[in-house]
Amino acid sequence: MEKNQYIVALEIGSSKIVGAIAEKTSAGYLSVRHLQEEQHLDSVRYGSVKNVENVKSSINRILHNLEGMIDGRIKQVYLGISGRSLHSIVSEVNRSVGSTEAITQELVDRIIQDATSTPIRNYDTVDIVPRAYYVDKVETPTPVGQFGSSIKIKVNLIVVKQALMLNLNRLMTFGIPAKDYIVTPLAVADQILSESDRELGCMLVDMGAETTTVSIYKDKALIYLNTLPLGGRNLTRDVMLGMGVREVTAENVKKNINNPLDPNNVSSVVIEGVPAPEAANYISARMGEIIANINQQLAYANVSSEEIQSIVLIGGCAHMSGLQQKLAETIKVKVRMGQNPSMLNILNPEINRMEYIEVFSLLAKASEMIPEGESCIELNRYEDPSFEVKGAPAAPTRPVEQPANPAKQAKPKKRPGWFKNVTKKLNDLMSEDEPNDDDQ
């Protein structure tokens, strides 16, 4: 019988770190029951790890708690990549080919890899996303199998600052390695955008605590990706500084205003000593700036709002009252909230929340990447010690310690019979050391 595969993913955000486990059956069904998170401030800024030791400790605790939930040992994880420096760069590669031979997938793959042959100063390329193919200057959905004298491939290089990747690599030196890195916005888009979204034109907007990532799709391809250093914490800090209160108070005020983006219609109530209409003025002004920056990304991508049929909104800040309407009014495009990946069966209702859409998408993407037969987790095995032998009693479950007898020890040892060999093997198996929690 084929064994189920277990997949572990970690998502490092500006306000929290989330780890989760998915179980993939041999039939391909994917389910999630276990998730752990730790809130934090300042150890990660704008999606980039600043205090490696603090974040490492958080990850250790998350993985240790997950191990307790599944009674096993986590061997490797899939780690999401995001952050302020994450963006796309367009690159084109031209190649002359023999017109007598059909273009192969191997040739296409080599040409795509050639797009990274020129290093980008201070940046690492973390993914390559094909955008368009041309054979003899004619665009085609796929060049494989065609004949021509030239081929051109336009790709998006997904890059981040080298310092971001350096700190991610440092994080994974505590004993549990990263099986692979996954670009979080790409994973989310793969899982929650429909084929018609990508074909007709769609903007995916992930509004987090300190960053907002904008991904634009058109004609089934990624056109543009960029990360803005603006998010929900900017709204909180504006209230904090403007009203002279602590950040935790400003955050509670922000969350409890009925419609903070419409100050003229906010109820005249006082929340923790802060007048709601005054706080709403700060929140509305800053959100207007964020929306203007989101809208500007269309111009940077050379795409008009008429070419975009929908905006899909996700992230912790995305649930702010009135945001969908404000975004739709400003950009003149229909806005909807993103939903958790449909291929994922979330078995625990307590974690079936939209705020975990990124880590769920990482799990779903990792389930497509993990090699057959591999698993991120080694479950603890408890073998049945009973071993029936015809005409002989069952072997004991644990070795019985006898008091030392020097006289007997001095005698030549008899060669054990076949039943004693079987017993010894079972005893050795049952007395193996358990994993040390300190090493996990």
What burial class does residue 221 get, using C-beta atoms within 10 Å of its C-beta: 0-12 exposed, 13-18 middle, 19+ buried? middle
- Model pLDDT, residue 2: 54
State the pTM of this model.
0.84
pLDDT tens string 323-364:
999 999 999 999 999 999 988 999 999 999 999 999 999 999
Residue 109 corresponds to which tokens in the numbers above?
């793959």
Q: Which domain holds residue 430?
A: 387-440
- Model pLDDT, residue 317: 92
369, 243: one domain: no
Burial 76-100 (b: 16+ CB within 10 A, else e): bbbbbbbbbbbbbeebebeeebeee
Strands 44-45, 377-379: pairing is unpaired
Q: Is residue 196 part of a domain?
A: no
- Model pLDDT, residue 175: 66
In this structure, the number of other CB atoms found within 10 A of the CB of residue 60 comes to 15
In this structure, the number of other CB atoms found within 10 A of the CB of residue 25 comes to 12
Domain-terminating residue out of 379, 406, 430:
379
- Alpha helix locations (H) across 121-231? 162-171, 184-192, 195-200
C-alpha closest to that of 280 among 252, 261, 267, 258: 261
- Model pLDDT, residue 391: 43
Q: Which amino acid would we find at residue 419? A: F
d(CA 19, CA 38): 9
- Model pLDDT, residue 426: 36
415, 346: one domain: no
- Model pLDDT, residue 61: 94
392, 375: one domain: no
What percent of the chain shows pLDDT beyond 90? Answer: 75
274, 349: one domain: no
Q: Is residue 295 part of a domain?
A: yes
Q: Is residue 248 part of a domain?
A: yes
- Model pLDDT, residue 28: 87
How crowded is the C-beta side of 85, counted as CA atoms within 13 Å?
A: 16
Residue 197 corresponds to which tokens in the numbers above?
């979204």
DSSP 82-144: --TT-EEEEEEEEEE--TTS---HHHHHHHHHHTTSS--TTEEEEEEEEEEEEETTEEES--T
Q: Are the C-beta atoms of residues 232 and 207 closer than 8 Å to each other?
A: yes
Residue 55 corresponds to which tokens in the numbers above?
């974040």
330, 349: one domain: no
263, 174: one domain: no
428, 396: one domain: yes
28, 174: one domain: yes
In this structure, the number of other CB atoms found within 10 A of the CB of residue 2 comes to 9
Q: Average pLDDT for consecutive 10-residue bins of the chain (440 residues)?
A: 85 94 93 95 88 92 94 94 96 88 93 88 95 95 93 96 93 81 97 96 96 97 97 96 96 93 92 96 97 97 95 94 95 96 93 95 96 92 47 39 41 43 41 39
